[in-house]
Structure 1
Amino acid sequence: MSFVKVFLRILVVLGIVFGIGIVVFVIQIYSEIRNDTDKIINYQPPIATQIFDRQERLVANLFDKEFRFYATFEEIPPRIVEALLAIEDTLFFEHPGVNIDAIIRAMLKNIKNARYAEGGSTITQQLIKNLALTREKTIERKIKEFLLALRLETILTKEKILEVYLNHTYFGHGFYGIKTAALGYFRKSMEDLTLKEIAMLVSLPRAPSFYDPTKNYDFSLGRANNVLQRMYEVGWISQEVLDLSLSEQPKVYNDTLTKNVAPYVVDEVQRQLVGLEDLKTAGYKIYLNIDLDYQEIAQEALYFGYEQILSRHKEDEALKEKLNGAFVVLENKTGKVLALVGGVDYQKSNFSRATQSKRQIGSSVKPFLYLSAINSGLAQNYQIPDIARTYEYRVGNVRKKWQPKNYGSSLSGFISLKTALTKSLNLATINLVEEVGFDRIYREILDYGFENVPKDLTISLGSFGASPLEMAKNFMVFSNYGKVITPMLIDRIVDMQGDVAYFSGEERELSKPKQSFLIVDILRNAINQGTGKRAKVEGIELAGKTGTTNDNVDAWFCGFSPSIEAIVWYGKDDNTPMGYSETGGVAPAPAFSYFFDKILEIDPGLERKFMIPQGVQSQIVEGERVYYTDESPIKYQPKVNHDTIIF
């Protein structure tokens, strides 16, 4: 065999091997391209969820890693498309995905400058680099990009490619997508943008950090002017429009991404929706029952009371660090949560005392005990002994005594049920519980919604705990005339497809309206004449009950108007006393009053007088107006003096 024949055979074999190699390489590239194509065709980016109040005002944005709002191509104004193409890819609607002329020009420029000075990528290729491929400068990647661009444009329309590009691209400052950037930088929807603002936005993808107008405003303007000049050169805007736009200096906002104006509320929303795994990425719109006006006033009211407490204890430096509070507002008839404040300062502590903390409720339990007494047939004027008692009991082999006292230690002898609750008398309440029957009282305390209640007489003085939100729910047995509805923070959730999920609370009737009103009247009296005087507001009927625990560790005010209920709590986070005199009537009652005084200013049409249900009658008994029903009729009892009784 001659040398020539051998050489030719070798060439043939090498050609076959090379050809097979090329085929294998192409098949591999094509396989990878198919996978990469799917990433773009089936593009489903993470989309931020938005939370709104009941008037559809933004409360917060929720997102995971990328803050994005999605815009369809139909939503994107033509001027945005023109500005983008003018500076990035003027022949976008004419080329098949790659622009050979642009690539050649870029190569010549790079050779001339002896460095990588310019690329020839089309919008399609840029999208591929951002979404499907790495940015490494290798021959293999460039081949993939080239082939993928050609393939992609045979599958997707030009409009769809632009849609994906404008939604996926990073525009700096944490903003992903053109819609997000418009809202973020200018607080405008896309259709409200000026041409100069559009030019500033489409300048950003090339160097998002450098052209970020919140950091480098002048550079951003300069780049935008280049965009405008280019639009003029290609004939897409007139000289008049160019001159007008060049002179404009848009206002730019440096907002936080979340725009969270009610952080305690937003945290609670996330806790309630913890099972929704795509909460921060699926673009939900969550509409709350919260009213931002009420929320702001509740926060102000809580801080007002906090400052008053501190002013009474200026010498106590530690109090300022430990003292805190909570404020919850409900709509009586619906259970909708109108405001929820979990602390005095979220920046110092994001722990929500409104929902996550259970504190002893003290005397704020008493209306529930008296409602049980009313429902057992006792009347408002029923006489109960306000006398001292000593209870002896054993803990193991140790004999102990419990000697409860009234605040101030005074005794009144026999006193009406109405007066006893108005003045929040401890001893009268304990005696009432024994008269009605402890077992019945205990059972009904659980029915009212309280949990982990000790089975002893200390429940008469509220020796167990509840969160302010739980107290708000349970107090609806008065504010809603016997009907208790699970408090609802969320009204509805709308997904990206427009499907709506509504939220509603469970409703239970625990007392008849006429019976509950008998306690409402007493609680109204407690504000007018009793322990809640500091909660009074001129021009509106209010009802409520103070609550104080041993040594002034916790101070509550639980009250309501004919349409709105408000629960206020103050205490120290370490469960130590707040200081002398910080009772429910001193610490939280003024905050309650502050709230309703301000609410009347923004909502003067608020219902002002309590409705008297059918079946309720009244008459004057010994100088006092007494309300009664056929189930709790007026009774007359002889008054008897009692000395201290030891059991």
Structure 2
Amino acid sequence: MKIKSKFLAVTLWFIAAGIGCSLVGLSGTYLYLSPQLPSVDTLRDVRLQTPLRIYSADGKLIGEFGDQRRTPVKFDDIPPLYIQALLAAEDAQFFTHHGVSIKGISRAVVELVTTGKKGSGGSTLTMQVARNYFLTKRKAFIRKFNEILLALRIEKELTKEEIFELYVNVTFLGKRAYGIEAAAQVYYGRTLNDLTLPELAMIAGLPQGPSFQNPIINPERAKERRNWILGRMFELGSINEETYAQAVATPVTAKYHGVNLDVYSPYVSEMARKKAIELFGYAAYTDGYRIYTTVDSRLQDTAQQAVVEGLITYDQRHGYRGPEQNLPLDQLDIKTDESGLSTTDYGPWLETLKATPSYGNLKPALVTGVEDQRIHVLTEENEILTLEWDQGLSSARPYITEDSRGPSPKLAEEIVAPGDLIRIKQQDGMWRLSQIPEAQAALISLSPQNGAIRALVGGFDFHQSNFNRVTQARRQPGSNFKPFVYTAALEHGMTAASIINDAPIVFEDGQLESTWRPENDGGRFYGPTRLREALYRSRNLVSIRILRNTGISNVIDGMSRFGFDESELPRDLSLALGSHDLTPLQVATGYAVFANGGYKVEPYLVEKILNFDGRAVFEALPPTVCNGCDDGEYLAQLSSQNDSGAEEDSSNNPYQIQGDPFQFDFEVKSLLGILEPSDYPKAPKVLDDQVAYIMDSILKDVVQKGTGYRAKALGRTDLAGKTGTTNGPKDAWFSGYNGNLVATTWVGFDQHSPLGKNEYGGSAALPIWIDFMKEALKGKPNTHRAQPPGMVTVRINPETGERARIDDPDAIFETFRAEHVPQFKSQNDATNQAMPYEESITEDLF
């Protein structure tokens, strides 16, 4: 009995000593590790890596950039079923424990002792938050102690809801998805609140093995994990038996969804991305910036479609170039069953189709069978489609050159053969034979009031070619440049009724490489011609004489107001025909001066940039047309605001990137949404009202009775513009506007190849412009410009440009500045050498 008592005492002493040592050890560990642990307070201000997102002016997503797809969510926005699913999978006692689960850790210790291997680790959600935000995932005892200590701290500092929110927003869930909202988009293409119970349970199971156990990489293992979670939810009473049975029977529907964009606008989003990198460096990809552009989503969609359809239409006029490639038939595995029926395994062909991208809605397809006037094609969805003779086959005349095509086909075998990779396009509910155009096009549309870019398309398809032809392609504008020359002529004394001789001319110009004999299209000359008619009919010889009479220096000296670099313009007579290379953006900016009544605006794309917290860190302050502003009052206001702004502390100014002189008033009005044109810097007046009015009326005649007559199909009276075609022809242009919108379109080959002898600005570029403006101006009233003071409208003789007699039956009305109104002159004294009036409308060539 004595021995037993002694043994018991020794045992108790060892137990007490062990406990004491453990306490001392734990205390020592705490004292050692505690000072090295990060502050939990940083979790309150944590900034998750969130990608750069780019939006249209009306809030539609048009681009996303960043390695991690993440959309943080608040706890109140998380579906209750997801909360229950995650707790069932990871930490059922989350809302009752204090950050550490003794039961979980004990289970992990027993597993380690019995198996000799470290298992799950018994981590709670709080411990996982500590690891995800502060520690590494390397399995080590010291890390586990840190995890426990941090978890206890986190539980003291944050609420359970805040901890849960941190967990679901940072956890990696596979396929570049970080956080549950991003995972919902990646795997199901929907928001978290739109997911079903089986889908929520699937996402709840991803943290265990996001890379190798997600439903795309390993759907079977992912389904097993999902069903286990559903079973746990049933055991815990989160769902009933019927709901459980239905959920586990649901098949796996997850598939990869790329960034779900609202508007296809890659050229715009790429420009915005470059702006973000310029301002914020590579932090732009991770710091959650949101860029709001000036682009209108409806106009952007319209522009994209107009460019694609315009190029396809142009391409069809020049013939079918044949299939892109031919796959050997022996790649296919053809099997015949007992009944004699054969089946074909298109596996290798499907791989080729999946690896072949679609461009401009032109889908790749492989020809599987050819009949007399019908073909069968395979799509990447393993679907066989039939194209009848009238579905693009009968019109597939072979391409020979840009000016010639072969005869119309009689049989389908003249067009394609089995194994040919072709392109098909859906139109009016039917698939048609098509092909990727080799020509390219660009469209830029902007507001003439402040230069805001409303739509921009830099080519047929960004993924085919990311070269942005709106901003990077410098091409000769041809006659698209003439209005700027004619403007200078009006400013230097000529009138819309001035007579200039349209006759042959030869130049021995030292600035040119050889003798120059410019011509009009078709080689005809029309004799004495009014300036107005010369522009709307695009007469080359008249334009050259106008430039020479006005003076090259006089014309060039005023070009900077239209946004052109005067030092780059050629100081020879070829300037009259647009021989200097310009980008479509430069041309459109120049036409904005005509559209807004004579003000210079600067094109811009980024309206504002918000940071992670929704605070504006950049907001554009574009020079804006303010027709109702008094210049004297405005300048006085600007001066006072500049003076006062210099004394204020601008350290917290969200507009400091622009050096905003209107900081307080502008910020407040911007937040309230009550900004007026007078709140912005004023666009400078660069063109006299009277000259601007005359030029506008002439450019309206281009549409009503000149080379842009096809635009009359829009049924509007407020459209103005000018065609342009360069020698070859190699470049086709149309720039046009009404009071609210300017648009420039260009068509050509990147390699400067000829477009074809019958391809002009009016036939290749103008149809794209019409398709765009038809939708852009739908439902919009006509805008009419008031005639400014100091102008007089009188009747003139159209052949002489002189004031017409009262009884002149051919007299027409013309508008003049008061000081330039022609005097009456006897009809008998007028010299009239004009050739017979030419009714046909021709396009210029240079």
Asked whether the two chains share a fold, i.e. TM above 0.5, the reply is yes
User: In the alignment, which of 85, 90, 94 is matched to residue 83 of structure 1?
Assistant: 85
Determine the structure 2 residue equivalent to 1:407: 521
Identify if the C-alpha distance between structure 1 residues 73 and 267 changes in structure 2 by more than 3 Å, giving closer, same or farther: same
Determine the structure 2 residue equivalent to 1:458: 574
User: In the alignment, which of 801, 815, 822 is matched to residue 627 of structure 1?
Assistant: 815
Determine the structure 2 residue equivalent to 1:416: 530
1:628 counterpart SS class: strand
Write the deviation string for residues 56-84 of structure 1: whole angstroms up to 9, x where unpaired: 22212232x21212223344444433332
Determine the structure 2 residue equivalent to 1:517: 693
Write the deviation string for residues 580-620 of structure 1: whole angstroms up to 9, x where unpaired: 233222221122222233445xx3x1233543434455454
How do residues 482-497 of structure 1 correspond to structure 2 at under 5 angstroms?
482-497=598-613
Contact 2:188 2:256 (C-alpha < 8 Å) held by counterparts: no
Determine the structure 2 residue equivalent to 1:295: 300
Q: 2:59, 2:517 → 1: CA distance?
A: 54
Q: 1:556, 1:251 → 2: CA distance?
A: 49
Identify if the C-alpha distance between structure 1 residues 282 and 137 changes in structure 2 by more than 3 Å, giving closer, same or farther: closer
Determine the structure 2 residue equivalent to 1:481: 597
Identify if the C-alpha distance between structure 1 residues 176 and 595 changes in structure 2 by more than 3 Å, giving closer, same or farther: same
**Is it true that 1:390 corresponds to 2:506 in the alignment?**
yes
Determine the structure 1 residue equivalent to 2:771: 594
User: In the alignment, which of 12, 35, 38 is matched to residue 34 of structure 1?
Assistant: 38
The higher-RCO structure (CA 8 Å, 6+ apart) is 1
Identify if the C-alpha distance between structure 1 residues 98 and 308 changes in structure 2 by more than 3 Å, giving closer, same or farther: same
1:509 counterpart SS class: coil
Determine the structure 2 residue equivalent to 1:284: 289
Identify if the C-alpha distance between structure 1 residues 405 and 178 changes in structure 2 by more than 3 Å, giving closer, same or farther: same
- The farther-off stretch of 101-110 and 423-432 is 101-110
Q: 1:46, 1:596 → 2: CA distance?
A: 41
1:563 counterpart SS class: coil
- 1:464 CA drift (Å): 1.1
- 1:488 CA drift (Å): 2.8
Determine the structure 1 residue equivalent to 2:150: 148
Contact 2:459 2:467 (C-alpha < 8 Å) held by counterparts: yes
Alignment gaps of 5+ in structure 2: 1-22, 320-398, 404-435, 624-682, 798-809, 836-846
2:454 counterpart SS class: strand
- The farther-off stretch of 566-575 and 627-636 is 627-636
* Residue identity opposite 2:741 in structure 1: I
Q: 1:72, 1:399 → 2: CA distance?
A: 70
Determine the structure 2 residue equivalent to 1:16: none
Determine the structure 1 residue equivalent to 2:178: 176
Q: 1:540, 1:488 → 2: CA distance?
A: 28
Contact 1:43 1:164 (C-alpha < 8 Å) held by counterparts: no
Write the deviation string for residues 347-386 of structure 1: whole angstroms up to 9, x where unpaired: 1110100112221111111111112222334321111122
Q: 2:615, 2:505 → 1: CA distance?
A: 62
* Residue identity opposite 2:540 in structure 1: N
1:483 counterpart SS class: coil
How do residues 55-74 of structure 1 correspond to structure 2 at under 5 angstroms?
55-63=58-66, 65-74=67-76
Q: 2:621, 2:464 → 1: CA distance?
A: 33
**Is it true that 1:368 corresponds to 2:542 in the alignment?**
no
Q: 2:696, 2:287 → 1: CA distance?
A: 46
- 1:526 CA drift (Å): 1.5
* Residue identity opposite 1:139 in structure 2: F
1:551 counterpart SS class: coil
Q: 2:615, 2:214 → 1: CA distance?
A: 36
Write the deviation string for residues 154-192 of structure 1: whole angstroms up to 9, x where unpaired: 444433322221111012222111232234444544445
**Is it true that 1:308 corresponds to 2:313 in the alignment?**
yes
Contact 2:81 2:197 (C-alpha < 8 Å) held by counterparts: yes
- The farther-off stretch of 515-524 and 361-370 is 515-524
- 1:631 CA drift (Å): 5.5
Q: 1:403, 1:571 → 2: CA distance?
A: 25
Q: 1:169, 1:593 → 2: CA distance?
A: 50
Contact 2:729 2:757 (C-alpha < 8 Å) held by counterparts: yes
1:390 counterpart SS class: coil
**TM-score, with length taken from structure 1:** 0.86
How do residues 44-63 of structure 1 correspond to structure 2 at under 5 angstroms?
44-63=47-66
* Residue identity opposite 2:279 in structure 1: G
Q: 2:79, 2:126 → 1: CA distance?
A: 20
Contact 1:71 1:179 (C-alpha < 8 Å) held by counterparts: yes
* Residue identity opposite 1:450 in structure 2: F
**Is it true that 1:530 corresponds to 2:686 in the alignment?**
no
- 1:567 CA drift (Å): 0.5
2:38 counterpart SS class: helix
How do residues 235-254 of structure 1 correspond to structure 2 at under 5 angstroms?
235-238=237-240, 242=244, 252=254, 254=256
Q: 1:111, 1:369 → 2: CA distance?
A: 91
User: In the alignment, which of 762, 787, 790 is matched to residue 585 of structure 1?
Assistant: 762
1:492 counterpart SS class: strand
How do residues 154-233 of structure 1 correspond to structure 2 at under 5 angstroms?
154-214=156-216, 220=222, 222-233=224-235
Identify if the C-alpha distance between structure 1 residues 310 and 34 changes in structure 2 by more than 3 Å, giving closer, same or farther: closer
- 1:216 CA drift (Å): 5.1
* Residue identity opposite 1:299 in structure 2: Q
Q: 1:204, 1:235 → 2: CA distance?
A: 22
- 1:25 CA drift (Å): 7.2
- 1:296 CA drift (Å): 2.0
How do residues 102-121 of structure 1 correspond to structure 2 at under 5 angstroms?
102-109=104-111, 111-112=113-114, 115-116=117-118, 118-121=120-123
Write the deviation string for residues 299-318 of structure 1: whole angstroms up to 9, x where unpaired: 22222332233334333589
* Residue identity opposite 2:180 in structure 1: I
Identify if the C-alpha distance between structure 1 residues 531 and 173 changes in structure 2 by more than 3 Å, giving closer, same or farther: same
- The farther-off stretch of 563-572 and 319-328 is 319-328
Write the deviation string for residues 238-296 of structure 1: whole angstroms up to 9, x where unpaired: 55665665566796563213637210110111233322223222222322221222222
Contact 2:53 2:290 (C-alpha < 8 Å) held by counterparts: yes
- The farther-off stretch of 71-80 and 47-56 is 71-80
Identify if the C-alpha distance between structure 1 residues 608 and 221 changes in structure 2 by more than 3 Å, giving closer, same or farther: farther
Identify if the C-alpha distance between structure 1 residues 515 and 228 changes in structure 2 by more than 3 Å, giving closer, same or farther: same
Q: 2:776, 2:605 → 1: CA distance?
A: 20
**Is it true that 1:611 corresponds to 2:728 in the alignment?**
no
Q: 1:247, 1:334 → 2: CA distance?
A: 59
- 1:340 CA drift (Å): 0.2
Contact 1:129 1:145 (C-alpha < 8 Å) held by counterparts: yes
Write the deviation string for residues 181-210 of structure 1: whole angstroms up to 9, x where unpaired: 234444544445444443232221112245
Aligned residues: CA RMSD = 3.3
Contact 1:295 1:338 (C-alpha < 8 Å) held by counterparts: yes
Corresponding pairs, count: 619
**Is it true that 1:270 corresponds to 2:273 in the alignment?**
yes
Write the deviation string for residues 314-338 of structure 1: whole angstroms up to 9, x where unpaired: 3358997752111111233343211
2:600 counterpart SS class: strand
- The farther-off stretch of 620-629 and 414-423 is 620-629
Q: 1:163, 1:54 → 2: CA distance?
A: 31
- 1:412 CA drift (Å): 1.7
Identity of aligned residues (%): 32
Determine the structure 1 residue equivalent to 2:751: 574
1:536 counterpart SS class: helix
**Is it true that 1:549 corresponds to 2:726 in the alignment?**
yes
